Amino acid sequence: MMSQPPLFSPWRLRGASIRNRVALSPMCMYCARDGLVSDFHMSHYAGFAMGGTGLVWLEATAIRPEGRISNGCLGIWDEAQLPGLTRLATHIASFGAVPGIQLNHAGRKAAAKPAWAGGAPLTPVTLADGERLWQPIGPSDVPFAEGWQTPRAMSLDDIAALRSDFVAAAQRAVRAGFKMIELHFAHGYLIQSFLSPLANHRTDAYGGSLENRMRLAAEIAGDVREAMPAEIPLVARISATDWIEGGWTLDDSLVLARLLKGAGVDMLDVSSGGNMVQGVANSALTQRSGYQTDFAHQIRTATGLPVQTVGLIRSAAFANQLLEDGKADMVALGRQMLFNPRWAAHAFQELAAPGDFSGWPAPYGWWLEKWSRSLARKGESPFHRELEDDPRRPN
């Protein structure tokens, strides 16, 4: 067997032992009703765990009903949601992956259609059967974009209640069996909208200066860390930049990273964009492979915090090179995983052990090993390379 590549070296963060450095990036599926786990979620997330992924992050899970992006978002605001979440966390773990959950409040981007139904803001005319409409909240009464509802600017009482809701959601997540908790401070949702001057026009202790705009993120991180068991890692997803002049910048992110580290955050999940339509995360589709990895690397170098990097990472060779170069501690894939839920297993074959199916579920591995030997006798190979990125490309 070849020497173990960094992509398949185990890693430990607090009490979470992860079998490799491959993570499923959180991606909203919009397939819940009343925030409840459905059969879709059970099948969807199990596929990645069965496919060898080390860390399986659930999609943005709302801490209150009005914090959902759409009516179809998962929720963790009610005890009635715990049985389904517990089943899901147990199911993921049964295949050897670490189950993680992302906690979110959508803020001024709430009350929208699912992305695959257009993602436009809900209106009384566009409500489908069973959907409801609500007014979003935000740091200020600044809508996300033209045509979106004007959010209600949050009061100090609202902010105090929000902090309590994040704590309650994290405690439910721990009770449900999730082994890592991620706070969604990115992509223009509620907490990131407090961070960016594009959305935060407040003049009190939560607005104006960088220190004030970071206050809520630091408070929530500290609250949640204090309320969680010591063995559970706390992660925060941030947008390293708004990609818009006058908005949030990488320099701001370096200051925030140090603040969050002091508040008890164990790892940063470094993404970007999302605070305005022209800076949305989907602009990634026009970017080069690994376009965000340099942000993660700079944050890791400047702060010493472990980082998870993401952003059009497609090939095993490229993902492995990021780790060899010290640019990240975990590599997360999103759309590439949707295309190939067994990406991790295929990457292991490519990088470490061609023909070794011992890491696959036993009923699969037995058949595939026989199949592979049979093909080899005929001079054929079952293996193919994924579409490759050049790991030498500047990042």
Which residues are identified as catalytic?
189
291: tokens are: 């376009």
**How many angstroms separate the first and last alpha carbons of the chain?**
31
Tokens of 60: 């943005």
CA angle 198, 203, 206 (to 5 degrees): 75
Cα gap 97→92, rounded to integer Å:
6
Backbone phi, then psi, for 228, in 5-degree steps?
-100, 155
* CA distance readout (Å), 313 to 26, 101, 175, 290, 390: 14, 21, 33, 5, 11
Q: Which of 295, 347, 344 is nearest to 22 (CA)?
A: 344
What count of Cα atoms within 13 Å lies in the side-chain half-sphere of residue 92?
29
Helices marked H in the chain: 39-50, 82-94, 156-176, 190-195, 210-227, 250-263, 293-303, 316-324, 335-339, 343-351, 362-377
